[in-house]
Amino acid sequence: MDAPIRTLGIIGAGRLGTVLATLAASAGYRVLVARSGAPEPIARAMAAIGATASSIDAVIDEADAVVLALPLGSYRTLPAQRLRGMLVIDAMNYWWGADGIRPDLNDPRTSTSELVQEFLHGARVVKALGHMGYQDLEDEAKPAGAPGRKAIAIAGDAAGDLAAVSRLVDDMGFDPVIAGPLASGIMLEPGAEAFGADVDAGELRAMLERFEASQRGIVVARARGGTLWER
């Protein structure tokens, strides 16, 4: 399925969620944003950036795709049943300062997006929008073709979903770079060179190509029995 995203839902209204909402609203998307509790406390802030504060249920009901921009350690609070069948863009990373010490979220055998996919059974999870810091996202958005435009990597298993997320990334002001299947999203996590990358498409592709030979890449391959993932 590669239907264009018109209404974008975002779960998590903090630093990342707010910047993504701003970029998507500026690009002409209808944007609905939820936090864990009632939407009223964020209503004015969201209206100011052209988005609408909503409940999580309303976001899921009305959006064509949902971005996860909440602390990764809380992913099991998401309503998995309601998200079945949906395109879900996982922008979350493990960060011990926010998530606590969670060896399950730092296990080289599994990317965190695969854990999210396993929990959100039946959803179509794509990893994107999580390797660049929120301030860089805010500062670096540029129209397609602009010199020095920066890139965002995308990992996912379905070609149509990769295409839909690529369009979103492009509309938000970044060149989309396909990293590979969802399992390859581990190349975008903390500990990998591309985590934090604020670089153009050529440099981002080069970082992804270097992953296999990097220290983290070797650890991941060993933990996975010698093969990074099916290509």
Ligand X SMILES: NC(=O)c1ccc[n+]([C@@H]2O[C@H](COP(=O)([O-])OP(=O)(O)OC[C@H]3O[C@@H](n4cnc5c(N)ncnc54)[C@H](OP(=O)(O)O)[C@@H]3O)[C@@H](O)[C@H]2O)c1
Quick one: which of 16, 88, 165, 220 contacts ligand X (CB under 6 A)? 16
Q: Does 11 bind ligand X (CB under 6 A)?
A: yes
The site map against ligand X for 130-149 (x = CB under 6 A) is x--xx---------------
Minimum distance between the CB of residue 1 and ligand X, rounded to whole angstroms?
25
Residue placing its CB nearer to ligand X in the complex, 78 or 164:
78
Closest residue (Cβ) to ligand X? Answer: 14
Quick one: which of 5, 8, 10, 13 contacts ligand X (CB under 6 A)? 13
Return d(Cα 64, Cα 148) in angstroms, integer.
30
Q: Does 15 bind ligand X (CB under 6 A)?
A: yes
φ/ψ of 67, rounded to 5, equals -90, 135
Minimum distance between the CB of residue 9 and ligand X, rounded to whole angstroms?
11
113: helix, coil or strand? helix
Whole-angstrom CA distances from 221 to 23, 75, 125, 182, 218 are: 36, 26, 22, 15, 5
Q: In the window 58-97, what residues touch ligand X (CB under 6 A)? A: 69-72, 74, 77, 91-93, 95
Return d(Cα 185, Cα 145) in angstroms, integer.
26
Residue 193: other Cβ atoms inside 10 A: 18
Whole-angstrom CA distances from 154 to 143, 178, 213 are: 19, 5, 20
Residue 92 CA from chain centroid, whole number: 6
Residue placing its CB nearer to ligand X in the complex, 101 or 213:
101
Q: Give the interface with ligand X as residue ranges (CB under 6 A).
A: 11-17, 35-37, 69-72, 74, 77, 91-93, 95, 130, 133-134
